[in-house]
Chain A
């Protein structure tokens, strides 16, 4: 199985980052500034009130800081490495993905796995620092921590498939810059990175239930801060798993269709 031996492909993007110290410095700086600003913002918003939308100040700050850390998981700079699917389509180098004894979908998955592991190292380091500094609260119990970890894993799988879906669009549209901008905005807004979803009107919350984005971040973070009690977590985990299954089937179907588009777009 070439996929087993090709584990080194998982190192591509993290290694590219590690070999470019300015990129690491910039990432560190940006993450620090984001956390400081987000924590200050939510503390400021809660200065006149104790509880808003069912959240205490500490819960809100914990949620917001964890959202910043979690968004780091897939935020690697593939563009600088000329390694986005869009760039491979543009330069015609996507052809090599189809000339190796490793199916493109497995290669893509390996790459994403490596990127998410590298992002996880950043997120865990940031979490440990924030926890030690008292910026975020620990989970209420080991059970909450465990369910949160499971939900986060499912959320990352959903995010992987959503990003894959957008990348697959390149095979049909060649330019997916606009789709990517929409995705980033929708992902940040509907997954609750900008603000927890409970602050939005009812119609917005209802609409977001029919989309996969809240399964990526809002659900696991809500479990962590206690907004979703453990008694309700089972349903949410099942919904996340359903999104994973649905998106997995759909993207598998698209990979098969995409193979026929390689020549037309990238040959």
Chain B
């Protein structure tokens, strides 16, 4: 019996892509003698996810998150390293792994476009061989949490995005998988539905004990749901820890937001205080280095150094922390 629901050890995946040479002659040469270059999508990534844990897998676009999820869902075979999901090597036993996992990939629906939602649920029930009584009980549970019954007799093509994603979440969990992969599940949804989905996910983790691996660019979601975060960039694992650890390592534990009287005033860093962000007269300061001042000391310094019309202090937003983490993880890392 494995202690972890998801085990990833030294996982690497290299793709080979064909690079077209520039120009007409180059294009012809590429046809005859294509230039194949390796791209390391994932390099030596190692992490574990415990049963009943929700882990956020974060990173900028192209960091290797989706490739990692595809290996864990059995779609892709790693170049080296190994992975186990609920004790199964997913790329060696894809069908067995499929019974242990549920997955939602952003706005890509697995529901049948032309059929009412409940028909889709019934087809999935048959594919996963779920007994009818269990199926009905789970539908009732999901309906209580996601309010599906008001639209589950509607054809999928007529659902709103929020309705469809809620149905997709239910569809992914109808066979009661212990492990769930969610790739940006709330992208494009309004705040009300987002909160409903988050509540649903919390319930699945806390009450049902499911293991959830979540990728998202929504830091509010991370702050509200994730106990632990794995950060990858350029295919490499940058950090594996709790949100507090990330804040300590990459981000400020406080922020000072000030509005300068002179929108064009030059802002120079103060000792132990970094300029985190500037938008015209709006500036945000945070601590820098290990000898950073307390927030009150910093506030005093800022007010003494600059003429400000408004000032507020608070804890740093997670998005700023993650931005700092991405930047520190690689000189050419993208913005989140």
Residues of A within 8 A of B (CB): 2, 5-9, 12-13, 15-16, 19-20, 80-83, 91-93, 95-96, 98-103, 107, 262-264, 267
Residue in B76, B99, B105, B114 whose CB lies within 8 Å of A101:
B99
B75 touches A95 (CB 8 A): yes
Q: CA–CA, A104 to B113, complex, Å?
A: 18
| Residues of A close to B76: CB separation below 8 A | 263, 267
> Does B303 belong to the interface (CB within 8 Å)?
no
Residues of B within 8 A of A (CB): 15, 66-67, 70, 73-76, 94-96, 98-99, 101, 103, 105, 108-110, 112-116, 119, 122-124, 126-129, 155, 157
B108 touches A95 (CB 8 A): yes
Residue in A19, A20, A91, A100 whose CB lies within 8 Å of B127:
A100
B114 touches A81 (CB 8 A): yes
Known: A2-B128, A6-B127. A19 touches B114 (CB 8 A): yes
B108 touches A102 (CB 8 A): no
Known: A8-B122, A103-B95. A98 touches B75 (CB 8 A): yes
A20 touches B114 (CB 8 A): yes
| Residues of A close to B114: CB separation below 8 A | 12-13, 15-16, 19-20, 80-83
B108 touches A92 (CB 8 A): yes
A19 touches B128 (CB 8 A): no
Residue in B70, B101, B105, B126 whose CB lies within 8 Å of A5:
B126
A263 touches B75 (CB 8 A): yes
B105 touches A2 (CB 8 A): no
When C-beta atoms are compared, the residue in chain A nearest to B122 turns out to be A8
| Residues of A close to B98: CB separation below 8 A | 99-101
- A–B complex contacts, Cβ < 8 Å, 16 sampled: A8-B123, A8-B126, A12-B114, A13-B114, A15-B114, A16-B113, A16-B115, A20-B114, A83-B112, A91-B108, A96-B103, A99-B101, A100-B124, A101-B128, A263-B76, A267-B66
| Residues of A close to B155: CB separation below 8 A | 19
Q: CA–CA, A99 to B100, complex, Å?
A: 10
What's the nearest-Cβ distance from chain A to residue B169, in Å?
14
Chain A interface, DSSP helix/strand/loop, else mixed:
helix
| Residues of B close to A92: CB separation below 8 A | 105, 108
When C-beta atoms are compared, the residue in chain A nearest to B105 turns out to be A95
Q: CA–CA, A19 to B66, complex, Å?
A: 36
| Residues of A close to B94: CB separation below 8 A | 98
| Residues of A close to B15: CB separation below 8 A | 264
B122 touches A81 (CB 8 A): no
Known: A92-B108, A98-B94, A99-B75. A15 touches B119 (CB 8 A): yes
B127 touches A9 (CB 8 A): yes
| Residues of A close to B70: CB separation below 8 A | 95, 263, 267
B74 touches A98 (CB 8 A): yes
Q: CA–CA, A267 to B65, complex, Å?
A: 12
| Residues of A close to B113: CB separation below 8 A | 16, 81-83
A16 touches B110 (CB 8 A): no
A100 touches B112 (CB 8 A): no
| Residues of B close to A263: CB separation below 8 A | 67, 70, 75-76
Q: CA–CA, A95 to B69, complex, Å?
A: 12
When C-beta atoms are compared, the residue in chain A nearest to B17 turns out to be A264
| Residues of B close to A82: CB separation below 8 A | 113-114, 157
| Residues of A close to B108: CB separation below 8 A | 91-93, 95-96
Known: A16-B112, A93-B108, A267-B70. A101 touches B95 (CB 8 A): yes
Q: CA–CA, A82 to B158, complex, Å?
A: 13
The 3 A-B pairs with the shortest beta carbon distances in the complex, nearest first, are A16-B114, A81-B114, A96-B110
Q: CA–CA, A83 to B115, complex, Å?
A: 11
B112 touches A101 (CB 8 A): no
What's the nearest-Cβ distance from chain A to residue B215, in Å?
13
| Residues of A close to B116: CB separation below 8 A | 19
Known: A101-B95, A101-B98. A9 touches B110 (CB 8 A): no
Most buried by A among B66, B114, B116: B114
**New A-B contacts (6) at CB < 8 Å, excluding given A15-B115, A101-B98, A107-B127:** A5-B127, A6-B123, A19-B116, A20-B114, A93-B108, A98-B94
When C-beta atoms are compared, the residue in chain B nearest to A94 turns out to be B108
| Residues of A close to B73: CB separation below 8 A | 98-99
Q: CA–CA, A24 to B78, complex, Å?
A: 47
Known: A262-B75, A267-B66, A267-B75. A101 touches B115 (CB 8 A): no
What's the nearest-Cβ distance from chain A to residue B173, in Å?
13
Q: CA–CA, A8 to B101, complex, Å?
A: 22
Residue in B75, B95, B105, B126 whose CB lies within 8 Å of A9:
B126
Known: A8-B123, A100-B128. A93 touches B109 (CB 8 A): yes
A5 touches B75 (CB 8 A): no
What's the nearest-Cβ distance from chain B to residue A102, in Å?
5
What's the nearest-Cβ distance from chain A to residue B127, in Å?
5
Q: CA–CA, A80 to B113, complex, Å?
A: 9
Q: CA–CA, A10 to B203, complex, Å?
A: 34
| Residues of B close to A5: CB separation below 8 A | 126-127, 129
Q: CA–CA, A2 to B114, complex, Å?
A: 23
